[in-house]
A and B are shown apart, each in its own frame.
Chain A
């Protein structure tokens, strides 16, 4: 492998990893607070892309407005799923909420199928995201640069929210001890709603980026990137936002470099993420950034 090809793959891997990271944030934030694997999150990510698709056509190509509105609407959808499906059973056994999440996931998937049909739709290509730059022999598509820049900005903003605002403090408090935090008279429902809103909005950004990179959307698209993003969250240490980014980048890079190094084994690409997952779980079950807690008797 020449240096150029390596750098080419590296940029591609970072872009992939950033996409995983964007979706992983929603998983990790919700898990951190509610200890719930929100299986509907991958469908929310895809709904963001579909909304962008519809609004882009509705606003006749005004993509800033269309994408902005779709991100806002997806955030509302995230809050709505919590209000309908998770909030009423906050005190039931945790598995109930998980099944509830699976039901919501099926509902969104089939609603998309009913409304848009099963055939793939061509996602609009914005000229800004459709250029290819040549830097010293490496060709980098502008979408990759956009993905990396946007996820960098989102990480910084999210860190500021988490560590510099009162809401962020409340989120971290809920995440480290839900019951004690609730006793401190904080509005738990509001904080949970904000968490869902932030996670879903970022997932929508990820969905739009994903659809711009692979410009075809269909209702069953969400499953694979969703699951891999979830794995990224676990690998990084679930419940930890920086971990989601580190996990996403690790996964994206390993995946792309594996295919680049062993092209004959490229069929096993989807297994790589899961193998990494199992190795990490066996040696550091709480993930790269996770804290290890002891079970109290």
Chain B
């Protein structure tokens, strides 16, 4: 049994309303620390969806996510900051005069940040997207590292390796979650329309897709730039979330983290990206107590830096060894799937796969 489109829409809207109700409770009663952790979870969801569109949907192995994040972060910051804070930040090398007086509202600069990242994706995508899987990964990795080196060496625009501090406080948990919901919605619509199917066809077999009349390069560049757009938005939200930019935030490790969410959740699987990005981020923050001093009653253990990351990596290794295709595999969350699941439970139906509405 499936619900009609209209009913599904109503249930979806109700679920989103429920989510924001929950956020309001967190925001008002659970303290700013929890608010920050939950916000970071949503930012990582946006980043993971971006990479999932590039790698999961289209099969383009990209290790350049950190590069697009950096572009988005710097563009949004430089467009949003007031001239006074800019001057205060750029005390070693003065900022370029044409950049000093630009100040746009946050939503506008966030959008521009996404589009600039997407533009870069088109520019580098046109030449390199013809490369095959591993070579594409290496080339995009190279691109991200070049971006980082350039950022470190352009003090009059990026303030070099010192980064930028005191970013304006323009985001909050509601804005971040609203963007995350929009991102998930967009990815869901994309995966179910003709563009998304073309992308998946390219992933499964490029030659067969081309023979079926799909313009490979056009679709690849399109998917690559959509993914980069979300990476740019996510990167911008990330630096506003942390109130500072440090070029070290955009090393290969950042890409690896997003990649682990996507692969551990299941390639091309939106549910997987969302759940794993959320869970991993939450656990990483929650495990912080391990690195603090602990009183075990008879002895006091001093915090050991690195313990948290170690546990995370061991967890990741276990997940990968246990679930070769990611935790969620091909299973996608859907309202109809859940309803059918319970229906089947009631009927005690022996039919297999009733709940799998991928």
A114, B306: Cβ atoms closer than 8 Å: yes
Q: Does A102 contact B (CB under 8 A)?
A: yes
Mark out the residues of chain B between 129 and 184 whose CB falls within 8 Å of any chain A CB in the assembled complex.
131-132, 134-135, 137-139, 141-143, 145-146, 149-150, 152-153
Report the minimum CB–CB distance from A34 to chain B (whole Å).
12
Q: A278-B128, A278-B139, A297-B207 are in contact. Are A268 and B310 (CB under 8 A)?
A: no
Residue from B131, B141, B309, B324 within 8 A of A106 (CB atoms): B309
Report the minimum CB–CB distance from B290 to chain A (whole Å).
11
Q: Does A99 contact B (CB under 8 A)?
A: yes
Q: A92-B324, A231-B138 are in contact. Are A99 and B251 (CB under 8 A)?
A: no
The interface centre, meaning the residue of A98, A110, A227, A275 with most chain B CB atoms within 10 A of its CB, is A110
A110, B313: Cβ atoms closer than 8 Å: yes
B134, A277: Cβ atoms closer than 8 Å: no
Q: A95-B267, A99-B263, A227-B145 are in contact. Are A85 and B138 (CB under 8 A)?
A: no
User: Number of A residues whose C-beta is below 8 Å from B?
Assistant: 43
Q: Does A191 contact B (CB under 8 A)?
A: no
B310, A110: Cβ atoms closer than 8 Å: yes
A110, B309: Cβ atoms closer than 8 Å: yes
Q: Which residues of A contact B213 (CB under 8 A)?
A: none
CB nearest neighbor in B for A97: B320
Residue from A113, A231, A234, A275 within 8 A of B306 (CB atoms): A113
Q: Does B97 contact A (CB under 8 A)?
A: no
Q: Which residues of B contact A95 (CB under 8 A)?
A: 61, 263, 267
B310, A111: Cβ atoms closer than 8 Å: yes
Q: How far is the CA of A282 from the CA of B136 in the complex (A)?
A: 10
Complex interface bits, A73-88 against B, C-beta within 8 A gives 1, otherwise 0: 0000000000001001
Q: How far is the CA of A107 from the CA of B318 in the complex (A)?
A: 12
User: Number of B residues whose C-beta is below 8 Å from A?
Assistant: 43
Q: Does A159 contact B (CB under 8 A)?
A: no
Q: Which of B3-11, B28-36, B252-260 contacts A (4 or more CB under 8 A)?
A: B252-260
Residue from A37, A110, A223, A297 within 8 A of B251 (CB atoms): A223
Q: How far is the CA of A37 from the CA of B306 in the complex (A)?
A: 24
Q: List the count of A-B residue pairs having beta carbons below 8 Å apart.
A: 126
Q: Does B127 contact A (CB under 8 A)?
A: yes
A270, B306: Cβ atoms closer than 8 Å: no
CB nearest neighbor in B for A274: B142
Report the minimum CB–CB distance from A142 to chain B (whole Å).
32
B259, A99: Cβ atoms closer than 8 Å: yes
Report the minimum CB–CB distance from A163 to chain B (whole Å).
26
A274, B320: Cβ atoms closer than 8 Å: no
A100, B135: Cβ atoms closer than 8 Å: no
User: Which DSSP category, helix, strand, loop or mixed, fits chain B's interface?
Assistant: helix
B317, A85: Cβ atoms closer than 8 Å: yes
Report the minimum CB–CB distance from A47 to chain B (whole Å).
15
A271, B138: Cβ atoms closer than 8 Å: no
A103, B306: Cβ atoms closer than 8 Å: no
Q: How far is the CA of A274 from the CA of B142 in the complex (A)?
A: 5
Q: Which residues of A contact B146 (CB under 8 A)?
A: 271, 274-275, 278
Residue from A89, A118, A271 within 8 A of B320 (CB atoms): A89
Q: Does B21 contact A (CB under 8 A)?
A: no
Residue from A99, A234, A274 within 8 A of B260 (CB atoms): A99
Mark out the residues of chain B between 260 and 286 whose CB falls within 8 Å of any chain A CB in the assembled complex.
260, 263-264, 267
Report the minimum CB–CB distance from A260 to chain B (whole Å).
18
Q: Which residues of B contact A274 (CB under 8 A)?
A: 141-143, 145-146, 149
A113, B139: Cβ atoms closer than 8 Å: no
Mark out the residues of chain A between 97 and 139 whose CB falls within 8 Å of any chain B CB in the assembled complex.
98-100, 102-104, 106-107, 109-111, 113-114, 118
A118, B145: Cβ atoms closer than 8 Å: no
Mark out the residues of chain A between 257 and 289 whose CB falls within 8 Å of any chain B CB in the assembled complex.
267-268, 270-271, 274-275, 277-278, 281-282, 285
Report the minimum CB–CB distance from A231 to chain B (whole Å).
7
The interface centre, meaning the residue of B304, B305, B313 with most chain A CB atoms within 10 A of its CB, is B313
Mark out the residues of chain B between 302 and 318 whose CB falls within 8 Å of any chain A CB in the assembled complex.
304-307, 309-310, 312-314, 316-317
CB nearest neighbor in B for A234: B138
Q: Which residues of A contact B141 (CB under 8 A)?
A: 227, 274
Q: Does B1 contact A (CB under 8 A)?
A: no
Q: How far is the CA of A118 from the CA of B306 in the complex (A)?
A: 9
A114, B142: Cβ atoms closer than 8 Å: no
A268, B309: Cβ atoms closer than 8 Å: no
Q: Which residues of A contact B219 (CB under 8 A)?
A: none
A281, B309: Cβ atoms closer than 8 Å: no
Q: Does A9 contact B (CB under 8 A)?
A: no
A85, B145: Cβ atoms closer than 8 Å: no
Report the minimum CB–CB distance from A93 to chain B (whole Å).
7
A106, B304: Cβ atoms closer than 8 Å: no
B142, A278: Cβ atoms closer than 8 Å: yes
A107, B134: Cβ atoms closer than 8 Å: no
Q: Does A295 contact B (CB under 8 A)?
A: yes
Q: Does B321 contact A (CB under 8 A)?
A: yes
Report the minimum CB–CB distance from A133 to chain B (whole Å).
34
A and B contact pairs by CB, cutoff 8 A, 6 listed: A103-B317, A106-B310, A106-B312, A110-B306, A118-B305, A278-B128
List 15 extra interface pairs beyond A107-B310, A295-B207, CB under 8 A: A93-B267, A96-B324, A100-B320, A104-B313, A106-B310, A110-B307, A111-B310, A114-B304, A231-B142, A268-B153, A274-B142, A275-B142, A278-B128, A278-B146, A281-B142
Give A residues with C-beta under 8 Å from B.
35, 37, 39, 85, 88-89, 92-93, 95-96, 98-100, 102-104, 106-107, 109-111, 113-114, 118, 219, 223, 227, 230-231, 234, 267-268, 270-271, 274-275, 277-278, 281-282, 285, 295, 297
